[in-house]
Structure 1
Amino acid sequence: MAAVRVRRRVMVAASLLASSALIGGVLVASPTDAAPTAGALTGKTVFLDPGHQGSAAGQNLSKQVNDGRGGTKDCQTTGTTAVGGKTEHTINWEVAQLVKAALESKGARVLMSRKDDTGWGGCVDERAEAASRSGADLAVSLHADSTSQGADPGKSGFHMIVPTLPIPDKAVDAVQAGEGRKASNTVRDALKKAGIAPANYGGAIDGVVTRPDIAGSNLTRVPLAFIEMGNLSDPADAAVLSTPQGATKYAVAITDGITDYLGGRASAANPTAPAPDPNAKPTDPAAPPAESTSPDLSGLSGVEAIGPLIDQLAKAKSPQEAQKILMTQGQDVSADVLKAILAVVYAVFGGKLPI
């Protein structure tokens, strides 16, 4: 039955791709609006906050706003830029679009802190308030880190930011110390399971950094998972996060973590974990895995199947060729991974996931 379901989804993908255009070897799909289908997350609401904004024109970024600790901080920042030139706000936006599409395909209702990657998205306190008022079952803030204005190789990996406890607002403290920490640990575990390494810098302990200065964590009254997906000053992290394949790998892992948390498979909260040592030295990064030269997807059923398949789709010279690739290589891809592939086609390249 599982094989039949996968093949049905392949047929859906093939028929959708047949109506798409390929421009310069890149798939461009016609936007499609479709109501979320019933699924594992039906009845759940997720608030996604892709960090920063496309433009701050007319805004005062240094305006002081509530930091949730009795002080103030800047309204917003521009975000960083990867050593390869791609902006953090766009990386955050693209991953968020993939996660949104995947969650909606599972039946979730997804709300966004900003509507596009060209305009303003609000101050940090406004985004926290929007998440709180949404009543979401989970809020997820997507960011990418930077340790230097130039290249800083060797400091790599993702980390979750959790608030220093206690938080002055007792309601926020109760939520973030309990469910917020469970959600953070669950997403952390999903990223690790997907083969994404935890940070080896900044005092991170098993992919978690405790900080008092993140307004979102200090102000949000629904569970919050705050993710720094990687270090854009590290050439390797920057290269992965700047590609559709890399964005997809992170999005699938984040979606898995959200699904586990909302599906009752959350990791333990352990809010009393020791605070990280700010003077800790980064460990030597693990050697990167050898890059596969074979496009054969036989036997693959996880996120590792996505990159080679997307490479082939991106190089297809016609919709018919793309359809043939999906009908052959796509048969060995699991249903969830196939949804992520469709999310790349319909989200990163301008459309929506219609399943």
Structure 2
Amino acid sequence: MTILVTGGAGFIGSNFILDWFEQGPEPVLNIDKLTYAGNLQNLATVSARKQYFFFRIGIEETNKIRRLLGAHNVRAIINFAAESHVDRSIAGPEAFFQTNVIGTLKLLEAAREYWTSGEAPKDFRFLQVSTDEVYGSLQPDEPGFRETDAFEPNSPYAASKAGSDHIVRAYGETYGLPVLITHCSNNYGPFQFPEKLIPLVILNALGGKPLPLYGDGQQVRDWLYVSDHCDALNRVLSDGQPGETYNIGGNSERNNLTVVHTICVILDELRPLASGKSYAEQIAFVRDRPGHDRRYAIDASKLARTLQWSPRTSFEGGIRRTVEWYLANPAWTTSVTSGEYREWVARQYA
């Protein structure tokens, strides 16, 4: 049997495929449109495997996906494919709804046809990988998001993911499709496209550029090392109950300013400036973005209680490994920071 991973050339998707092959030889079909954040270099170490297949296909291409499902006896779809950057969703929301809502709908149609045809294995699963941002924002003293909390998305990105999650649930209720939904907190680690906070700060610091922080930098996120997220997804895929939603968190709440200071301390140690100054002197506060959520926090007790999963990586350990990876892979960072990327960063943090 085989699994099908959508968006497998992106940050979390590629890490998932790499971790998957560390666990065993079950084949993987990777479909990805290779938009700006998709990078096949992430998968260079597995690209020659006989068990790995890549197809440049979008999740909206229902007929092509339907044929792949039947031809490869696919037992699970793990849907990572999404437009995922809040800032870009504010600048241009339509693409987010086309991919995240309509694209997910089209993908579900392929899965439904496969499931109802009788071709799919009896243990077939459709796993929707979503975000804690669908829940909105928390006050400082509020408990973490629970699976039963109402959706209150505050950005076009979060709204598009909330919409796709509702469609996935509806396909489970209406058509009996065995669906699973996960909501994760902020991921970080190797291969993350440097429009997100942590890789952006690392590369800007090394380049002698300002380290931009929105507003006062006190926005709080629960940070989850990407390998821990992949491990949790594997657990949900193997043991999760169809129709259920599971929150995945890192138990590592930090505000953005603390995260940036932590990165600077590590860089001061591993790549000290010739001037003897700290990278922290490059921190620059910029105008806050519209509708910026103040705090996210995940209550992952359901996952711990029902599937016996908890994160293994502390923030201190994970962030050091992440900085070390970017320092050790300058060719990768150079290849992804194109002219378009530089223009985007310049516009966004002007």
**Higher normalized helix content (fraction of residues):** 2
Query: Normalised by the size of structure 2, how large is the TM-score?
Result: 0.37
Query: Normalised by the size of structure 1, how large is the TM-score?
Result: 0.37
User: Taking CA–CA contacts closer than 8 Å with sequence separation of 6 or more, which of the two structures ends up with the larger relative contact order?
Assistant: 1
